[in-house]
Amino acid sequence: MAGSVALGAEFALAGWVFAAVGAVAAQLTSSAGTARGIALGLLGMAYALRAAGDTSAHSDGGLWWLSWLSPIGWVQKIRPYGENRWSAAVLALAVSLVVVAVAVVLSGRRDVGSGLLPARPGPATGSPALRSPLALAWRLHRGLLAAWVAAFALLGVLFGAVAEGVGDMLRDDGATRDFFARVGGKTGLIDSYFVGVLTMVGLIAAAYAVQATLRLRVEETGGRAEPVLSTAVGRLRWATSHLVFALLGPAAALIAAGLGAGVTYGAAVGEVGRQTERLVGAALVQLPAVWVLAGLAIALFGLLPRLSAAAWAGPAVCLLLGFVGAAVQLDQWALDLSPFAHLPSLPGGGVHVLPIAVLTLIAAALTATGLAGLRRRDLPA
């Protein structure tokens, strides 16, 4: 009974902490998309800190303390059916209550419909640099793109820093070794580790791609697309200006992650050039699967705009299939529903062009379908 209660508390408290984080983010900005981006960014950072800290602790590294910076790390230290450490549950509960109290106080200090960080009024005359839809899209996406690239670089550094000790950890921990073998294939212990973590990085990149794609829906429902489309700018030109960042932005983020991992791990083993090349390539191989999920978001926006938010189900389902499915050993046909299951196992494995080409064609077909739907449907005035 105690273990069951502790397990339920682990899940519930993680949800409470990040519900409180979302409540604070909602007070900071008047844009739901920006608030969502802040909350998701903090969630991703918490996951990365916990992963790096726990991996370092298992390999007797010096970064074990990173887990204590993450709410996910706190609740996992409850250890249901084992120690049942209620002190960790009390810590998470106390932080949840404090953060909720902060959200309540902030709510009383802002105007209804606005945030504590008000949008700055624009100049009376537009800059010459905004004379094209692509320039406007750059202005709208550049902050998000910079934040994601920086976060991915940090992820790569964290995963690369603990990689050297992963081999010893996996040799001593049969269950973890088998898990990475199922996720990353039998390509060597450290290579399997990198396949697993870079697959997770690819899933996070897919979330960024979906977020950048759905900026089109935000512009449409906010009434900001109509003034642009009332000029000589056509729908496809407007849409593709945003999709440049939805499709190429994840590539920049994945390169940053590969560089971070390659440089830190390469410096540890004395092979900076070789490891950087290998890990940048392994990160970029995730791109066709990322584009498939971005293409699904584009198709929903073009054909069923009211269901655009359902595009978030794509990364969520792939995460469950890739990691939870591998842990519980689902049948292969179920795992194959994720586009990430068809990617080459890099580094360490062979490169197969056919699945990469097929995934790219599927992404292109979904994108073309969405753009065709956009040309034919009504836009709200």
pLDDT tens digits for range 124-151: 887 777 888 999 999 899 988 998 999 8
pLDDT category of residue 381 using cuts at 50, 70 and 90: low
pLDDT category of residue 17 using cuts at 50, 70 and 90: very high
Q: How far, in Å, CA of 228 to CA of 234, rounded? A: 9
| Residue 94, burial from CB neighbour count under 10 angstroms (0-12, 13-18, 19+) | exposed
Per-position DSSP letters for 79-90, written without gaps between them = -TTTT--HHHHH
Q: Is 366 helix (H, G, I), strand (E, B) or coil?
A: helix
Specify the pLDDT at position 281. 94
What's the token pair of residue 53? 């800290």
Q: Is 165 helix (H, G, I), strand (E, B) or coil?
A: coil
Identity at 350, one-letter amino acid code: G
Neighbour tally for 44: CB within 10 Å: 18
What's the token pair of residue 103? 């959200």
On the question of pLDDT at 172 being above 70, the answer is no
What mean pLDDT comes out for the span 194-203?
91
Q: How far, in Å, CA of 359 to CA of 247, rounded? A: 14
**Percent residues over pLDDT 70 in the chain:** 93
Specify the pLDDT at position 57. 77
Q: What is the pLDDT of residues 211-250, one digit of tens each?
A: 999 999 999 998 889 999 998 999 999 999 999 999 999 9
- Could you tell me which residue, 381 or 332, shows the higher pLDDT? 332
Q: What is the pLDDT of residues 327-354, one digit of tens each?
A: 777 788 888 899 999 999 888 888 889 9
pLDDT category of residue 198 using cuts at 50, 70 and 90: very high
Specify the pLDDT at position 156. 92
Alpha helices by DSSP H, listed for the chain, are 2-28, 32-58, 71-76, 86-107, 133-163, 166-172, 174-184, 189-213, 215-221, 225-229, 235-269, 272-284, 287-303, 313-319, 325-328, 332-335, 353-376
Three state DSSP letters for 288-355 = HHHHHHHHHHHHHHHHCHHHHHHHHHHHHHHHHHHHHHHHHCCCHHHHCCCHHHHCCCCCCCCCCHHH
Specify the pLDDT at position 4. 92
Compute the mean pLDDT over every residue in the chain, rounded to the nearest whole number: 88
Neighbour tally for 255: CB within 10 Å: 18
Nearest to 202 by CA among 293, 267, 122, 112: 293
Backbone phi, then psi, for 329, in 5-degree steps?
A: 60, 55
Q: What is the pLDDT of residues 286-328, one digit of tens each?
A: 999 999 999 999 999 999 999 999 999 999 999 888 877 777 7
Identity at 339, one-letter amino acid code: P
| Residue 20, burial from CB neighbour count under 10 angstroms (0-12, 13-18, 19+) | buried
364, 355 in Cβ contact below 8 A?
A: no
